[in-house]
Amino acid sequence: MSLIRNTRAGSAPLRQTRRSRGAPITPLALMLVMLALVVFTVLANTSAVRFDRVAPALITIEAEHAPIDVLPTPIRLLLEPEPDGLRLSQSDDRWGRIRWEPQLTSDVDRLQVSGRVSVEDAGANQAIRHQARLVLVQPTDNRPLRRLIAGWPESVAQHQFDRIIRIMDPERPLWIDLILTPSSGTLVLHRLTVDGLATRLWVEAARWILLACWIGSILAILWHLSRPMPRPLQLSLWLVASALFIGLLASPEQLATLKDLLAALLPTDTEAAASLDVNLLGHFALFAALALVLFLGRADLGWLRLALVLAAMASATELMQLLVDGRQADPFDVLVDLVGAATGMLAGWFILQIGWLHRTG
């Protein structure tokens, strides 16, 4: 009896020691850190936008009152920020003057900056005014106006556009060289070169620091959850986490390469390979594997706690994509993550039930 009494008496300090080991990283502290990261990410995505990369875009000039060949090519244009928007001017007056009143529109697939262009031909005996429409269309997956998400209302998009223009250095204006070729009544861009972009190194550094904080917080959560797990499950968890971060930080070009690789592995059914959505498949598979490993190793947390952890990680990883070039946050991806997590948890529960039946049998 005394031995049993001493064992019970010694169990309280043992429980206290186990609790004290988990004290350095508490769930409340991790939640506060992630909440702060959410706020900073939203602020960085709305205020730290800038004109940092300009890729070749499709530019057409549609003539309305004059033949297309009256416009000079090449054209060197100057794009300058002004309080009320942009000012587009021409560097060489021998071709006349170009005045442009820009407007910004966006839809799901593209970003469009357009405006009515007024050209005065100085080479003619008398000034001839040509009315045309210049349209700059930039695909959303390779756009010069970074952090401008297509599909927003025009008023919101214009607000973001004004922020980008204000961040440009007024002493280093944007020069655009257009090499245009006639094609079916329009002038289609043949080559686009850009010079004089403003560089803000602190913005780039802040973006990478914020992204590193996100990664560190998620790794801390996974480390905290994996401590009581067996060694094989710990290795499996870190393997899945590594694949998850690779998928998060991959560029659209790298994702396209992965899709081509998967299509090459399915030579018998080319239609299925062509319609394969690597993005959705990756979201579903990674979170299904993550939920499976966590449920097998930490079933003691219960369904609700594990579901909350996986939901928080799905939202956090999607917000992280706002800080990766060429990637966007999509609420539908979070839904796919949750479906994958639910599938993984059900699979883990089924595996544990089979193991329990084998032990009892």
- Any residues with CB less than 8 A from the CB of 269 and at least 6 apart, and which? none
Residues making up the chain, counted from first to last: 361
Provide the pLDDT for residue 159.
37
Residue-wise pLDDT for 154-201, tens only, equals 333 343 333 333 334 444 444 444 444 444 444 333 333 333 333 344
Residue-wise pLDDT for 12-63, tens only, equals 433 333 343 444 446 666 666 667 777 666 655 544 333 333 333 333 444 4
Provide the pLDDT for residue 78.
52
- 132 and 66 Cβ atoms separated by less than 8 Å: yes
Pairing of strands 58-63, 186-195: antiparallel
- Any residues with CB less than 8 A from the CB of 14 and at least 6 apart, and which? none
In the structure, what pLDDT confidence band is assigned to residue 347 with cuts at 50, 70 and 90? very high
Token pair of 248 as six digits: 């998060």
Residue-wise pLDDT for 279-315, tens only, equals 788 889 999 999 999 999 988 888 988 998 898 888 8
Provide the pLDDT for residue 19.
40
Nearest C-alpha neighbor of 94 from the set 122, 126, 131: 122
pLDDT tops 60 at residue 338: yes
Token pair of 100 as six digits: 């442009």
Residue 148 is given by DSSP the state -
Residue type, 231: R
pLDDT tops 90 at residue 346: yes
* Average pLDDT in the chain: 60
- Please provide residue 25's backbone torsions phi and psi, each rounded to the nearest 5 degrees: -120, 105
Q: Residue 213's CB: how many other CB atoms inside 10 A? A: 16
Provide the pLDDT for residue 255.
72
pLDDT tops 60 at residue 202: no
- 64 and 116 Cβ atoms separated by less than 8 Å: no
* Burial of 181 per CB tally in 10 Å (0-12, 13-18, 19+): exposed
Residue type, 341: A
Q: Which residues pair with 179 in a beta bridge?
A: 191
Provide the pLDDT for residue 207.
73
Q: Residue 286's CB: how many other CB atoms inside 10 A? A: 23
Provide the pLDDT for residue 296.
92
The mean pLDDT of 268-285, rounded to a whole number, is 67
Per DSSP, the residues of 204-246 read: HHHHHHHHHHHHHHHHHHHHHHHTTS-HHHHHHHHHHHHHHHH
* Burial of 323 per CB tally in 10 Å (0-12, 13-18, 19+): buried
pLDDT tops 80 at residue 3: no
